[in-house]
Amino acid sequence: MTPVTRDPRRHLPLLLAALAMIGPFSIDAIFPGFPDIGRNFGVGEVALQQTVSVYLIAYAVMSLFHGALSDAYGRKPVIVIGMAVYALASVGAALAPTFTFLLGCRALQGVCAGAGIVVGRAVVRDTMNGEEAQRMMSKVMMIFGIAPAIAPIVGAWLLGIDGWRGIFWALAVFTVLLTMGVARFLVESHPKANRTIFRPRPLLAGYVRIGSDLPFWPLAIASSINFSGLFLYIASAPRLVRDLLGLGAQGFPWLFVPVVIGMVAGAYTSGRVAGRASAARTVAVGYVFMLASCAINIVLALALPTPRVPWSTLPLALYGFGVQMAFPTLTLLLLDRFPAQRGGVSSVQAFSSLLFTALVAGVLSPLLSYNMLGLALGATGMCSIGLLAWWWYSHLERRAIARHKAAGMGSAAEQAELQEPG
């Protein structure tokens, strides 16, 4: 009797979206609880911001290993173990007797949280190709885009039930359920025959090989720093919502709802144009929207001495749209640089992205969030760096195609490399 084989793609959108939501929930859900945490432990705003920075730094460092571990031991075990330990760290945070202990639990959350999103990207590329992969990535990012808006709303609601500790209890319950769901429904997409050996020397050699690929760097920079421009506003949410906009704990939706609307619309549009528009055009449209948002934010910051809703936050919908329009294509181009090391490539990309976001949370947000103009200029600078990186990648690819043609090895597929993602 032939055994029944489950379709590995059947539950992917829901599972991967839920795994991707861990990151935004870990950051945004605790923002409404900042004042209570500060009073509970007697710490100031700078110390509270470190609950985000510590999480992101741990996330960034460990993300270098999640992909390689999944290349060696399989995608599913790495995700299941990571989510289970994350749940334990959330319980520890909920019971934290001191602020130092809370920071330690946040670091442990960061160590584990990346297992879902980093390995999840490799799962998509294991099971799908071309247009199908772009559509799946867009679906995941569309659902993922809802998390930043839901998280602070849920966090504010939980404050009324069990204070800031209830936020971490909720994270623990969510990840326990997610761990069980992954264990039950996720089909292993990386067979033993394709697995590598997890040893320091091969791991280092693999990262050296990835790092020596010149086109990898502009793609990694572009895909990472685009979101950092938006994350500057997200990381600044406690000060922006309470001090600049003069709103209370229930005011976070004024910031996050426009962001989410833009991100969901951008991810949906990216999925719809997969196979119809070239990679170059898709990314270019993304940058048009991001730069338009930056320009409007600068004008509004200069025109409105006192920031007010909805005008001071509405343009972020355009930025969110642009980020999600470009991100799936940039990610697939990155993963396809090294088809045999997709887990490792995803790890390096996540590491670079998280370093940017940790820098934003720990340094740029405290420096720039005193007024809307500082935030607008910071986001514009990061978006401009991303655009320059994309131009660099496009230039490198055009030169590579020209060299192949000059050597008599050009082909229609090679010449279309910039036109078709994946």
- DSSP helix/strand/coil, 277: strand
Q: For residues 300 and 80, what is the distance between their CA atoms, to the nearest angstrom?
A: 46
Residue range 262-281, pLDDT digits in tens? 988 888 888 788 777 788 89
> Buried b / exposed e across 181-203, counting CB within 10 Å, b at 16+?
bbeeebbebbeeeeebeeeeeeb
Give the model's pLDDT for residue 133.
Answer: 72
Superfamily of domain 12-187+199-415: MFS general substrate transporter like domains (1.20.1250.20)
Q: What's the chain's average pLDDT?
A: 83
Instruction: Report which of 422, 141, 419 is spatially closest to residue 277, judged by C-alpha positions.
Output: 419
Give the model's pLDDT for residue 172.
Answer: 94
C-alpha distance from residue 202 to each of 74, 83, 141, 344, 348 (Å): 17, 26, 32, 11, 15
Q: How far apart are the two ends of the chain, measured CA to CA in Å?
A: 38
C-alpha distance from residue 60 to each of 30, 107, 179, 204 (Å): 20, 11, 22, 16
Residue range 133-171, pLDDT digits in tens? 767 766 676 666 667 667 777 777 887 777 899 999 999
Give the model's pLDDT for residue 296.
Answer: 96
Instruction: Report which of 253, 59, 247, 94 is spatially closest to residue 164, judged by C-alpha positions.
Output: 94
Q: Span 179-189, mean pLDDT?
A: 85
Which helix H or strand E contains 240, and what residues bound it? none
The region of weakest confidence among 67-81, 189-203, 375-389 is: 189-203
Give the model's pLDDT for residue 1.
Answer: 43
- Cis peptide bond prior to 8, omega within 30° of 0: no
The region of weakest confidence among 274-283, 284-293, 312-321 is: 274-283
Q: For residues 258 and 255, what is the distance between their CA atoms, to the nearest angstrom?
A: 6
Give the model's pLDDT for residue 130.
Answer: 65
Residue type, 61: V
Residue range 239-260, pLDDT digits in tens? 888 888 888 767 878 888 898 8
The region of weakest confidence among 37-46, 57-66, 188-197 is: 188-197
Per the model's pLDDT, the better-predicted residue between 275 and 385 turns out to be 385
| Ranges of each domain in the chain | 12-187+199-415
The region of weakest confidence among 309-313, 375-379, 383-387 is: 309-313
Q: Model pTM greater than 0.85? A: no
Asked if the model's pLDDT at residue 207 lies above 70, the reply is yes
Per the model's pLDDT, the better-predicted residue between 208 and 5 turns out to be 208
Burial (CB count within 10 angstroms: exposed 0-12, middle 13-18, buried 19+), residue 3: exposed
Asked if the model's pLDDT at residue 324 lies above 70, the reply is yes
The percentage of residues in the chain with a pLDDT greater than 90, rounded to a whole number, is: 28
